[in-house]
Structure 1
């Protein structure tokens, strides 16, 4: 049994991130996270059969008069649509959810994004408690309040900032996580070392075998360190006006890859998943940093080797056109009037926002991959 850890997120809308074993069944903890008598658990067809009833039972134990409903949605990125967002809204309406109602987002990043966005919109904002069950959601999407859905033109283009009331990370759920999803989450863990904590890269390299073997101590330490970094950044910059943009390291490339895959394959979710696309995107961002004379190739090589060690892809998938990817980047949320903006680095652990990046340099990196 690993000792529970709490990471506090301050700022204008403070909340706590609880990390530990068996927390989804902790009725005392869940009782602290919701205020009213209406609760909606939103999950997907993979996660709900494993954990939804346990969360419901703990919630009912915590609040005997709660009116609770479980909504099960399709799994995968392809489900992050307006239609399924509407299903969450309809469920809240059927429940008669009042302003003090709570949405429990039980699942990975797709469920967290979609349920969080519905909570942001219902009655102009009700509580959302994030209950992430994937490593990627634990260390990234459940923290910070970004919520969104996808549209054909791009990923996460429709959404809202809506900080959670709490984040409850039950590390035992990782035991049912497929190996591919574990590796995808490790990409986002590596990101924190790349942008702000070079010593974390050393730690990850030293503990790579333990992490891949699902060692509980190593995973808990990696989750806590990642959440601590994200909590500090989002506390200082909740609406991404400055420093928070660093968390998008690799994401401009990644979102373009995901969107182009969706266009070529008839929908979101085909090809690389988000974490895998971020791994490729970080490699490309490191190479672009070298191309622009900001960093040495040694750092890019080291990052690439660590990602390969975690079994992550490091190259753009075959069949994706460089010009088409560049066109996708022009619609990315990080683009601005002065052109493409990228999160690049001067060295491992020292990232910064670079505006007005020359498109010819980007194309050179894309075509060289």
Structure 2
């Protein structure tokens, strides 16, 4: 088992990464709780909910299963979780465990952050993508006008990452999570990026993936410790997300996975970076790797003006001017304001390029 610590503003919390951790969940509780509510989704519950329940047999445990998918990050699910917490009699000495991917972690974490003005919660990620969302303390739900617009900064008391749960992931979920690993490497570690891009997803062993997840978590943790509330360098973690989030909102949450659209966002960030800094990034290498590993790089036709409107809903937008995370080089991120006129030109060129290459 690997263990690291993330230093949050109000408290530090451990991150445990290893195999079979779900069978020993009780060992990782830092204190006794009056009751525990495990929140998971319809996909994860049949595989792992019973294991976690059994590991907490000495505790008062309740469970609640929400629908799977990005659509569950809604105000309705959030209200439902509060209703269940009240019905189960949770109090300020209770604990919420978020067992699942990023959606479960976000909505369950936001419920924990707001129930009785905040109770403890633990992240138990079951996807590759959730290695990113489970660390850093950002919890949220979506609004119909934009992703993660309603939320809070609220750190868990622990992250328990049983990598055995990754064996049941679908191919598109593996692609989704790996895109976030690529993002972290592009921000801070050229060697990790080269290592990631040299592997085919179908040939990755569990140990190779675990090693890469540890490195990705450490990159994320290092950035979060410097800027927990996203006032500076943490904004760079949104590399690829300005376009990715806009596409999610336009196409509908669940049309494609978050990471698959972030992958397209990474390609767009490469192109804008090249034009902004008059340099060349390994665009063709990244595009070829994404294509060969099954990432869907085709898009239905969308008016650039519609995408621009959604991009303006991004949390990094200041005074109606879009800020994009760009790269001056691999492992050298930069936050730049881009005018609407330029962005429309860049979007038009990029969408045309994608359409031509995916005919």
TM-score by length of 2: 0.94
Cα distance in structure 2, aligned partners of 1:29 and 1:322 = 52
Cα distance in structure 2, aligned partners of 1:199 and 1:24 = 32
Paired residues in the alignment total 349
Q: How does 1:278-293 map to 2 (within 5 A)?
A: 278-293=262-277
Q: How does 1:27-38 map to 2 (within 5 A)?
A: 27-32=25-30, 35-38=32-35
Work out whether 1:149 is the aligned partner of 2:131: no
* Structure 2 residue aligned with 1:176: 168
The answer to whether the Cα contact below 8 Å between 2:95 and 2:121 also exists between their aligned partners in 1 is: yes
* Structure 2 residue aligned with 1:313: 296
Greater Cα shift, 112-121 or 192-201 = 192-201
| Cα displacement (A) at 1:367 | 1.1
1:235-276 Cα shifts (integer Å, max 9, x gaps): 1111001111110001010010000112xxxxx222x21000
Work out whether 1:75 is the aligned partner of 2:68: yes
Distance change (3 Å), C-alpha of 1:35 and 1:310: farther
* Structure 2 residue aligned with 1:94: 87
Cα distance in structure 1, aligned partners of 2:278 and 2:36 = 50
* Structure 2 residue aligned with 1:265: none
Q: How does 1:212-361 map to 2 (within 5 A)?
A: 212-262=202-252, 268-270=253-255, 272-296=256-280, 298-315=281-298, 317-337=299-319, 339-355=321-337, 357-361=338-342
* Structure 1 residue aligned with 2:354: none
| Cα displacement (A) at 1:338 | 6.3
1:81-108 Cα shifts (integer Å, max 9, x gaps): 1111111111111122121211100111
| Cα displacement (A) at 1:214 | 4.1
Cα distance in structure 2, aligned partners of 1:225 and 1:284 = 25
| Cα displacement (A) at 1:294 | 4.7
The answer to whether the Cα contact below 8 Å between 1:7 and 1:231 also exists between their aligned partners in 2 is: no
Cα distance in structure 2, aligned partners of 1:56 and 1:362 = 50
* Structure 1 residue aligned with 2:355: none
Cα distance in structure 2, aligned partners of 1:103 and 1:28 = 13
Greater Cα shift, 231-240 or 11-20 = 11-20
Q: Which 5+ residue runs of structure 2 have no aligned equivalent? A: 352-359
The answer to whether the Cα contact below 8 Å between 2:241 and 2:262 also exists between their aligned partners in 1 is: yes
1:125-146 Cα shifts (integer Å, max 9, x gaps): 11110001011012x1111011
Cα distance in structure 2, aligned partners of 1:348 and 1:300 = 11
Cα distance in structure 1, aligned partners of 2:271 and 2:94 = 47
The answer to whether the Cα contact below 8 Å between 1:129 and 1:167 also exists between their aligned partners in 2 is: yes
SS in 1 for 2:279: coil
Task: Report the aligned-residue RMSD.
Answer: 1.5
Cα distance in structure 1, aligned partners of 2:279 and 2:86 = 53
Cα distance in structure 2, aligned partners of 1:349 and 1:247 = 12
Cα distance in structure 1, aligned partners of 2:330 and 2:37 = 42
Distance change (3 Å), C-alpha of 1:347 and 1:27: closer
List structure 1 runs of 4+ shifted beyond 4 angstroms.
Answer: none
| Cα displacement (A) at 1:55 | 0.6
The answer to whether the Cα contact below 8 Å between 1:288 and 1:361 also exists between their aligned partners in 2 is: no
| Cα displacement (A) at 1:304 | 2.4
Q: How does 1:99-114 map to 2 (within 5 A)?
A: 99-114=92-107
SS in 1 for 2:37: strand
| Cα displacement (A) at 1:17 | 0.9
| Cα displacement (A) at 1:27 | 4.0
Cα distance in structure 2, aligned partners of 1:348 and 1:38 = 47
Cα distance in structure 2, aligned partners of 1:346 and 1:223 = 25
SS in 1 for 2:155: coil
Distance change (3 Å), C-alpha of 1:30 and 1:341: same
The answer to whether the Cα contact below 8 Å between 1:19 and 1:169 also exists between their aligned partners in 2 is: yes
SS in 1 for 2:43: coil
* Structure 2 residue aligned with 1:15: 13
SS in 2 for 1:91: helix
Cα distance in structure 2, aligned partners of 1:50 and 1:35 = 26
* Structure 1 residue aligned with 2:37: 40
Q: Which 5+ residue runs of structure 1 have no aligned equivalent? A: 263-267
| Cα displacement (A) at 1:68 | 1.2
Greater Cα shift, 144-153 or 298-307 = 298-307
* Structure 1 residue aligned with 2:186: 194
SS in 2 for 1:155: strand
Distance change (3 Å), C-alpha of 1:338 and 1:331: closer
The answer to whether the Cα contact below 8 Å between 1:42 and 1:106 also exists between their aligned partners in 2 is: yes
